[in-house]
Each structure stands twice: as C-alpha cells, then as structure tokens.
Chain A
Amino acid sequence: SQTIHQWPATLVQPVGSPLSLECTVEGTSNPNLYWYRQAAGRGLQLLFYSVGIGQISSEVPQNLSASRPQDRQFILSSKKLLLSDSGFYLCAWSVQGSDTQYFGPGTRLTVL
C-alpha cells in the first residue's frame, strides 16, 4: 500500500532563516505531488504541484520554492522565512491521471 511521509513534524524557526521541508511517497511510481499551506483555522492553499521529476508549477507567488529531485520526493524551501510563513504545511499525492488526493501528516511551522 502507499504511504506518504513528511518531516519534520514540528519546526520553530526565526524570521529570516532558511527552510527545507521534505515529503516522500512509498508504494507508487510517478505520482503527482502537491504542497499546501493551511493557516490557523483556515482553508487549504495550494502552493506548488508537480507531475514529474523537475516539473514544478507554482500557484502563488511568494518567497517559497519547491523541487522534485527524485520521483517520489518533494521538497519545499525558503531562503528567508517571514512571519506570515507560519502554518501547517501539507504534502499530498495522487496517481497520475487521477484527481483523488491523499495527504501526508503535515509539518507545523512556527516563525518567530
């Protein structure tokens, strides 16, 4: 069966520091991968999605970037964090050609 992992689970970072969040999927090949952000008490904001290695689409202009160095690995990065980057970051995957998404356990980021 398929499993999606995210780490770290929790992160506290100062303003201006860099960020790297990782997501990996097991048990499937060539998945679509997605990064969402959820501010406290709010909905799901799609940040990036990828349909293959090195293929990244950005939905929202911001100081974040994403990369997909391997088929089942998706990384969210920032060079300098802002206070507004605080939130719950969720990675999701779907089978190619399918619109059913499955979410990872998330990373709770607090920027101080």
Chain B
Amino acid sequence: GENVEQHPSTLSVQEGDSAVIKCTYSDSASNYFPWYKQELGKRPQLIIDIRSNVGEKKDQRIAVTLNKTAKHFSLHITETQPEDSAVYFCAASGTGGSYIPTFGRGTSLIVHP
C-alpha cells in the first residue's frame, strides 16, 4: 500500500519567516495530495490540495508544489504569523482507484512572535 513520509516532525520559525514542510509518497499511482491544518484540540481542516496534473498551486500565503517524478510534494507558508502555529498533515490518495488517503505523521509548526 501507499506510504507517506513527512518531515520535519517539528519546525520552529520566527514570525515573518517562511516555512516548508515536505512529504514523500511511495505509490506513483497516487494522484491527489491534500494538506490539513490542525490547531490544538480542534479538527483537521483542509487548507490546500493539489492533483497530479498540476505542479503548483497557491492560495495567498500558502502554496503547494508537486514533483511527480521524485514522488514528493511540499507545503510552503510565507510571511508566517503566530496563528499559523499548528500541526500540519499531508496525505496522498488515488492508489488503485481508492479514495482513502494515507496521512503523514504530522509536522508541529511553531511560529515565535
């Protein structure tokens, strides 16, 4: 089955810096890659996603890039703010026609004011 590795497990940045979280996946048949943000004690919320026919997608300060050849995708957050502090999860799905995502283990992002 699919395997998703996410790095780093913890990322600490200063307010205003950029943050990058990377995920690799194992199955080249995966074609959908969402990112979720989970604040402490809350539900994961979808913040951005990308499909395999697109190399990059942006939404304000957030962007996701996909390299299908290398089987990795990354979340980029620019001009970080304290409210960006949360756990971020990547996922991959689409293998074998399944819509069940495989999640990474999460990255705890801490933005220091």
In the complex, whether A35 has a CB less than 8 A from a CB of chain B is no
Interface residues as binary, B69-113 with A (CB distance below 8 Å gives 1, 0 otherwise): 000000000000000000001000110000111011110000000
Q: Considering the chains assembled together, what is the distance between the CA atoms of A90 and B36 in angstroms?
A: 14
Q: How many A-B residue pairs have CB under 8 A?
A: 44
Known: A43-B103, A44-B44, A105-B43. A100 touches B34 (CB 8 A): yes
In the complex, whether A55 has a CB less than 8 A from a CB of chain B is no
Interface residues as binary, B41-52 with A (CB distance below 8 Å gives 1, 0 otherwise): 111111001000
Chain B binding surface, main DSSP class? loop
Among A49, A90, A94, A100, contact of B44 (Cβ-Cβ < 8 Å): A90
Q: Considering the chains assembled together, what is the distance between the CA atoms of A94 and B106 in angstroms?
A: 21
Interface size class, chain B: 20 to 34
A103 touches B43 (CB 8 A): yes
Q: Which residues of A contact B32 (CB under 8 A)?
A: 99-100
- In the assembled complex, the CB of B3 is this many whole angstroms from the nearest CB of chain A, namely 13
Q: Which of A25-55 contact B (CB under 8 A)?
A: 32, 34, 42-44, 46, 49
Interface residues of B (CB under 8 A from A): 32, 34, 36, 41-46, 49, 89, 93-94, 99-101, 103-106
Kindly list 9 other residue pairs between chains A and B, CB separation below 8 angstroms, not including A42-B105, A106-B42, A108-B41.
Answer: A42-B106, A43-B103, A43-B105, A90-B44, A94-B99, A99-B93, A100-B34, A100-B46, A104-B43
User: What are 27 A-B pairs at a CB distance below 8 A?
Assistant: A42-B105, A43-B89, A43-B103, A43-B104, A43-B105, A43-B106, A44-B44, A90-B43, A90-B44, A94-B99, A97-B99, A99-B93, A99-B94, A99-B99, A99-B100, A100-B34, A100-B46, A100-B49, A101-B34, A101-B101, A102-B46, A103-B43, A103-B45, A104-B43, A105-B43, A106-B43, A108-B41
